[in-house]
Structure 1
Amino acid sequence: MGRRLYSTTLYALMPLIWRRVWREALPERSRRERLGHIPAYDGERVLWVHAASVGEVTTARSLIRSLIDDYPEHRVVVTTMTATGARQLQALFADLVTHHFLPLDFPGAVRRFIARLQPELGLIVDTELWPNLIHAASDAGAPLAVVNGRITPKAFRRYRRFDALMREPLRRLAWVGAKSGEDAKRFRTLGVEARNLTVTGALKFDLEVEETVRGAAEALRTSWGERPVWIAASTHEGEEQAVLEAHRRVLHQHPEALLILVPRHPQRFDTVHELCLSSNMTTVRRSHHESVGPQTRVYLADTMGELMLLYGCADAAFVGGSWLPDVGGHNLLEPAALGVPVLSGGCLESLREIAEALTVDHARLEVADGSALARALLALFDDPSARERLGAAAHSIVETHRGALALTRRHVARLVEARRLAHLAAEEEVDASSRT
């Protein structure tokens, strides 16, 4: 009854939903994918990963790479909800994976999608639980699992309000790998069977930094000469102005300092560029292949898939989304994995365990606003040994907490093998029936 009412509501809201996703498109891709119209994968062995947007794609990077390496006989298909997630996927993996947009959760659309994809296993990254999609996969015999599963207190309260809708789909999940014990408790309360639930830790800790990235970062930084460099990454509207004001204060004491500014969303690149120009700071754009010169004060990184490279160029990193309660922060571990000192605001609801781990071991500085950010940066620039200690502490946290990927890979292998055996048993049953 709950799912029927949910589907009816979706159909009623279809004009509004369609208008929202209309913007999330790529020129070369048909919007019919939103209704499940993808090519049929008949005869192919498919492993499917759903990573909603940029953050989830980044989180799943090591897992997707392991699927490519562990299952060379399979095609790895990755779905996203957003165009920015699709661009990030393309930047990271090019043609090593196949991308589609996830269909909207209309019953017919998700049944069509699953029927054409025919995945041996589906992996949902973090938590994007669509009831009709889960039912369609389950009804088709395609096991669906959640990896790096997390449920924030706010999301938990929302799911509890819709218990009649969510409990049955959650029971149908083949496995949930939860980020933390608290996340596991919430999944269990919502209906996930205890035997299908494992605390794996956070996949983000298993981030691997390729040597080519380190080398490219070193070369790029060397080309800029001896100067303080800091990065403000994954920033949102309302944060860039404070970041630029902090940079202005830094420039008073270090007039040669360089800010690398990386807005979160590509559709805001031009707007942020105009904001930089209005601040009267000499600004160059990476997408225009403009060189950083001695007079450059802001390097606008308006490209996709290069964040680790740019973190590697910085003496300190402010991670955006952390001054906005509705966002709840972004990946703090990317700069940490490179040994770059991590600064952020206090709005970190979406990655509370990671933020606390960094804070307890004095591996993150919390700054309340642009003024506090400027003071923290100046202190780090003026004390190289403190900067080195903070970066080393952050790197140590990443190394200490690795392991989620290995545990997740073991469970993925178990699920793939179980599906293979079930398929063989079904074939034998058909053969036996035909002989009789």
Structure 2
Amino acid sequence: MLALLIYRVIFFLLMPFLLLALLFRSLNNPHYRYRFNERLGMLPKANIPKAFGKGGIVVHAASVGEVIAISPLVEQLILQYPHLPITVTTFTPTGSAQVSKQFGTRVQHTYLPLDVMPCTLLFLNRLQPQLMIFMETELWPNLINQCATKKIKLLLINGRLSAKSMKSYQKINALIKPTINCFNKILCQSHDNLYHFLQLGADADKCSVSGNLKFDMSINDTVLDKQAKLMSILPKNRLIWLVASTHPGDEEITLAAFKLIKKVFPPLLLVLVPRHPERFSSVAKLCVNQGYSLAKRSDNTVVTEQDIWLLDTLGELMAAYALADIITMGGSFSHIGGHNPLEPALFKKPIIVGHDMHNFTEILSQLKQKNAVIQLPDSANTIDITLAQTVISLFEDKDAAYELGSLAHNVVLSNQGATNKTLTQVHELLK
């Protein structure tokens, strides 16, 4: 296949630059420079014990959000296939940290190697999986084709392909079409996503709609334990506005809105949660430079009169949702495409999002159909004012805030079930 051959040659030649890119990212996040052997497909025996290392199931979840989404599935795989090693791979350090926190030693974990022939061969030869599970639009042509050649079963779950992504892939369809048809089964989030995969040339017999795994969440004991710890730190007599998964620019909008809201609700506590750990320090400086008093979760001090609480730890956001009165999702005020609003919905919290939620089109559509979310318009010059007015209105009308959160919770419950459909397909492929 000429397109695949060209792809392999290009990526092999680019490998030094890919490694340099990882080193560059490590300037802000040192974890990117660690475990380079795994990026090259060389998995240490100490990391994957020989007795459990081969012949199992590999599940790839690129980053934190994907790890959280596949958690119910992985828990079931551990229960239903106790004789098989379950390996969860990620690409980002934050995803890696989430795997360790979520599953500990119950799963094997490594970074997914760079999609370069020698690296992927080493990876597959070391693990020799029966089944590899990819998620959403994680299409790695070289690795996927090597799996197909080695007769390793391939399953794409929670398939997501926007119209924009489909058009981009169509430009390299000579490579993408054979790649997606290597999969034994493609389970899509919705009929729209299914249609887009078919438009790319996916075999219709291999494709079906299973729903979105991100709805299949629950409040487990781990979350409840974390929630109890946070309750001992946060004040019980103050309103709390939590802004989650913020990116550059989000904090400026939030702090400008916060200034306006505090004129109406002076005791309000703002909880800020930057998306990436490497930004914790700069966000803290921004808050202080704007004259706000700040407490950090990493300091483990009780919040008293401080204006802002910075959640600068990993793995505690979901528990923090339970303690907030209103949630705003970061990454939705620019080109980022938003972040998953379903976790706060699980706690019946009123949710506000910005105009750009293109990464969660189907989820947002279902929430809006049920009047279960507030989406702000694209008004760049006045977005802070609009955000402040919306937060104030919800604080002033507790019944409206409660109804908004309850409707969001109902949307979550009514869409659960994708995990069971995915497990059924896993059973079929492992027969």
Q: Deviations over 1:151-200 (max 9, x none)?
A: 12221111100011111121110111100111111112223222211101
Q: Deviations over 1:216-235 (max 9, x none)?
A: 53674475121110110011
Q: How many residues align?
A: 415
Match of 2:159 in 1: 149
Match of 2:423 in 1: 409
Question: Do the aligned partners of 1:39 and 1:116 also contact (CA within 8 Å) in 2?
Answer: no
Question: Do the aligned partners of 1:120 and 1:416 also contact (CA within 8 Å) in 2?
Answer: yes
Match of 2:97 in 1: 87
Question: Do the aligned partners of 1:218 and 1:312 also contact (CA within 8 Å) in 2?
Answer: no
- 1:309 equivalent to 2:319? Answer yes
Question: Do the aligned partners of 2:22 and 2:32 also contact (CA within 8 Å) in 1?
Answer: no
Report the secondary structure of 2:134's partner residue: strand
**Which residue type is aligned with residue 14 of structure 2?**
L
Question: Do the aligned partners of 1:214 and 1:312 also contact (CA within 8 Å) in 2?
Answer: no
**Which residue type is aligned with residue 351 of structure 1?**
F
Question: Do the aligned partners of 2:58 and 2:132 also contact (CA within 8 Å) in 1?
Answer: yes
Q: Deviations over 1:16-59 (max 9, x none)?
A: 21112234674895202111111466664421110111121122
Match of 1:361 in 2: 370
Report the secondary structure of 1:359's partner residue: helix
Deviation at 1:215, TM superposition (A): 6.2
Deviation at 1:337, TM superposition (A): 0.9
Match of 2:12 in 1: 11
Deviation at 1:289, TM superposition (A): 1.0
Match of 2:344 in 1: 335
Match of 2:42 in 1: 37
- 1:346 equivalent to 2:355? Answer yes
TM-score computed with the length of structure 2 as normaliser? 0.92
Once superposed, what is the RMSD of the aligned Cα atoms?
A: 1.8
**Which residue type is aligned with residue 133 of structure 2?**
L
CA distance in structure 2 between the aligned counterparts of 1:313 and 1:241, rounded to whole angstroms: 23
CA distance in structure 2 between the aligned counterparts of 1:98 and 1:375, rounded to whole angstroms: 48
- 1:282 equivalent to 2:296? Answer no
TM-score computed with the length of structure 1 as normaliser? 0.91
List runs of 5+ in structure 1 lacking aligned partners.
Answer: 418-436
List runs of 5+ in structure 2 lacking aligned partners.
Answer: 378-382
Match of 2:380 in 1: none
- Counterpart pick for 1:251 among 248, 262, 273: 262
Match of 1:160 in 2: 170
Report the secondary structure of 1:313's partner residue: coil
Report the secondary structure of 2:130's partner residue: strand
CA distance in structure 2 between the aligned counterparts of 1:413 and 1:120, rounded to whole angstroms: 12
Q: Deviations over 1:206-252 (max 9, x none)?
A: 11111553465367447512111011001101111111111111111
**Which residue type is aligned with residue 397 of structure 1?**
V
Deviation at 1:115, TM superposition (A): 1.1
Q: Mapping of 1:2-401 within 5 angstroms?
A: 2-22=3-23, 23=25, 26=31, 29-39=34-44, 44-211=54-221, 213-214=223-224, 216-217=226-227, 220-221=230-231, 223-293=234-304, 295-325=305-335, 327-368=336-377, 369-401=383-415
Report the secondary structure of 2:186's partner residue: strand
**Which residue type is aligned with residue 210 of structure 2?**
T
**Mean Cα deviation higher: 71-80 or 329-338:** 71-80
Question: Do the aligned partners of 2:238 and 2:267 also contact (CA within 8 Å) in 1?
Answer: yes
CA distance in structure 2 between the aligned counterparts of 1:106 and 1:211, rounded to whole angstroms: 40
**Which residue type is aligned with residue 196 of structure 1?**
K
CA distance in structure 2 between the aligned counterparts of 1:371 and 1:251, rounded to whole angstroms: 13
Question: Do the aligned partners of 2:22 and 2:33 also contact (CA within 8 Å) in 1?
Answer: no
**Which residue type is aligned with residue 281 of structure 1?**
Y
Question: Do the aligned partners of 2:332 and 2:354 also contact (CA within 8 Å) in 1?
Answer: yes
CA distance in structure 2 between the aligned counterparts of 1:67 and 1:306, rounded to whole angstroms: 24
CA distance in structure 2 between the aligned counterparts of 1:347 and 1:362, rounded to whole angstroms: 18
Question: Do the aligned partners of 1:176 and 1:197 also contact (CA within 8 Å) in 2?
Answer: yes
Match of 1:431 in 2: none
Deviation at 1:370, TM superposition (A): 2.0
Deviation at 1:374, TM superposition (A): 0.9
CA distance in structure 1 between the aligned counterparts of 2:320 and 2:353, rounded to whole angstroms: 17
Change (3 A) 1:21 1:286: same
**Which residue type is aligned with residue 387 of structure 1?**
A
**Which residue type is aligned with residue 94 of structure 2?**
T
CA distance in structure 1 between the aligned counterparts of 2:313 and 2:296, rounded to whole angstroms: 9
Report the secondary structure of 2:348's partner residue: coil
